[in-house]
A and B are shown apart, each in its own frame.
Chain A
Amino acid sequence: MKDRDLVMDWLPYVVGSLVFAALIHLASIFALPYFSSDDAWSRLSRAMQPNSFTLLERDPAGETLLPFEDPRTFAGACVYDLAAGPVRVTADFSGEGLVIVSFHDRRGAAFYGLNDRGGLRGKLDALIVTGAQLEAIEGATPDDETVQELRLLSPTQVGYVIARSVIMDSSDVEAASRRLASLTCAQQQTPD
């Protein structure tokens, strides 16, 4: 009967330990995005100045800034910070070739994405704003004015925009890199 006593003695602790393990596991999975110092935003913000579009170095056979990138693409990014005002992102897609652009919040979650066929008349004119900035802009402009820009509400105050240009074939390498040259990213003044 001694073995049985031992089992009964430890059983609540074993069950408690397993329940605690499950809680720790779930908590760590949910908490990880908030504590990672090596996520896409952190990697990009270490590599560039905020609110300006920066081309990423392309090394098709080596270490890339972001993992799981297509070796057949050129990439550029803009780490934005809306603290001092909205950030405008423009691009000209009038050339040939495939360019894709997506907007991500601090946790890397995409809140808008488009390809070069998604622009308005071959152009992208987007304004990344916080909720308060959006209200200020809408309050300052007359209701009957046609809005030409795409206003994107960022879920977080900081985030990043990433653009990629796909190299079609070996003769397209230089042209593919030039396709990202039209991208701009700049802080705007908040309207009074």
Chain B
Amino acid sequence: MTGLLKTIVAALFGAALGLGATWYALGGGVSFGFVELGPWRGNPRAAYADADPYTRAARARTGQSPLSQAEGLTFFASVDDDGARLDPRCAYTIGGAIPAARLWTLSSLDRNGKPIANAVGRNAISSIEIVRDQDGRFEIAVASEARAGNWLPIARNEPFQLMLRLYDATGSAAAGVMAREQMPAISKGSCS
């Protein structure tokens, strides 16, 4: 093969590899600005000009408009406490601590950020409507079948992720500096 032909082959291969890496990185949520707290991932700078280049590219590609810090903080979870991918055929219990905020919501979204459609037409629960025990603790059941108490519906066979929004977060959460213990646990229950 001549040198020119080799150069063309190398350039085409390189371009394909580079664009493939971009496609893979944006689809897989590669980012350097994440705060990782157990299964929860959030980027307090996601809305800003100084967010890392991967976050800015993902923002442009998906069309999302993340919250500014005065508005609140957003965390996503697509795995449980053991690191296993959230499975719509299983039930999960979310509970324990939650960072200080004026109001928070927990919602179920698909991979592309669209709310999960289900039979009951509900895909979010807020801190206002949560039923707590005498000590102020709460547990939320995430399941496709109806549960008594705090229930966040999902849809069977519809892969999902969880989004936790802390509106008007206060204390250490406002600065995005938090410890794992401040975030709720996600434990897997029975699967069917």
Contact with B along A46-81 (1 / 0, CB 8 A): 000000000000001111101111111000000000
A147 interface residue per 8 A CB criterion: no
A167 to B62 Cα, complex, angstroms: 25
Instruction: Please measure, in the bound complex, the distance between the C-alpha atom of A115 and the C-alpha atom of B102, giving whole angstroms.
Output: 11
Residue in A closest to B71 when the chains form the complex, CB atoms: A100
Residue contact B47 to A100, C-beta cutoff 8 Å: no
Q: Within 8 Å of chain A (Cβ to Cβ): is B56?
A: yes
Provide the main secondary structure of the chain A interface: mixed
CB distance B6 to A10 under 8 Å? yes
Stretch from B15-23, B91-99, B134-142, B182-190 that touches the partner: B15-23
- B1 CB to nearest A CB, Å: 9
Shortest 5 CB-CB contacts between residues of A and residues of B: A113-B68, A24-B18, A67-B113, A20-B14, A68-B113
Q: How far is the CA of A60 from the CA of B118 in the complex (A)?
A: 10
Is the pair A115, B18 in contact by a Cβ cutoff of 8 Å?
A: no
User: Using a CB-CB cutoff of 8 Å, which residues 14-69 of chain A contact chain B?
Assistant: 14, 16-30, 32-33, 36, 38-40, 42-43, 60-64, 66-69
- Contact of B124 with A72 in the complex, beta carbons under 8 Å: yes
A71 to B9, CA, bound (A): 48
Chain B residue with the shortest CB-CB distance to A22: B18
Name A's B-contacting residues (CB within 8 A): 10, 13-14, 16-30, 32-33, 36, 38-40, 42-43, 60-64, 66-72, 98, 100-102, 104-105, 107-115, 117-118, 155, 160, 162, 164, 166-170
Question: Considering only CB atoms, which chain B residue lies closest to A27 in the complex?
Answer: B18
- Interface pair B17/A17, CB less than 8 Å apart: yes
Given the contacts A25-B22, A169-B126, A115 and B117 also touching, CB distance less than 8 Å: no
> What total of chain B residues lie within 8 Å of the partner, measured CB to CB?
62
* B124 x A70 contact (CB < 8 A): yes
The answer to whether B15 and A66 touch across the interface, beta carbons within 8 angstroms, is no
A70 touching B71 in the complex, CB below 8 Å, given contacts A33-B59, A166-B105: no
Give the CA-CA distance A109 to B9 in the complex, in Å.
39
Is the pair A29, B57 in contact by a Cβ cutoff of 8 Å?
Answer: yes
The 30 sampled A-B contact pairs (Cβ below 8 Å) are A13-B6, A13-B7, A13-B10, A16-B10, A17-B10, A18-B14, A21-B13, A21-B15, A22-B18, A24-B14, A29-B53, A32-B22, A38-B61, A61-B116, A62-B114, A67-B113, A68-B74, A68-B109, A68-B113, A70-B105, A71-B123, A72-B126, A101-B71, A102-B65, A104-B47, A105-B49, A110-B68, A115-B70, A115-B167, A169-B126
Assess whether A29 is in contact with B124, with CB atoms less than 8 Å apart: no
Q: CB-CB < 8 A to B109: which residues of A?
A: 68
CB distance from B28 to the nearest CB of A (A): 13
Q: What residues of A have a CB within 8 angstroms of the CB of B116 in the complex?
A: 61
Bound: A74/B87 CA distance, A: 29
Nearest Cβ distance between residue B156 and chain A, in whole angstroms?
15
Given contacts A32-B26, A61-B116, 16 further A-B contacts (CB under 8 A): A16-B14, A18-B17, A20-B15, A24-B22, A29-B22, A40-B65, A61-B121, A66-B64, A72-B124, A98-B102, A98-B103, A98-B168, A113-B68, A155-B49, A168-B129, A169-B128
A168–B104 Cα distance when bound, in Å, is: 9
Contact B68 A102 (CB under 8 A): yes
Chain B residues lying within 8 Å of A64, measured Cβ to Cβ, are 114-115
**Given A68-B109, A72-B105, A168-B128, are A23 and B123 also a contact pair (CB < 8 Å)?**
no
Name the residue of chain A whose CB is nearest to the CB of B58.
A32
Flag whether B35 is at the interface (Cβ < 8 A): no
Q: Are B60 and A33 in contact (CB under 8 A)?
A: yes
User: Residue B163 at the A interface, CB < 8 A?
Assistant: yes
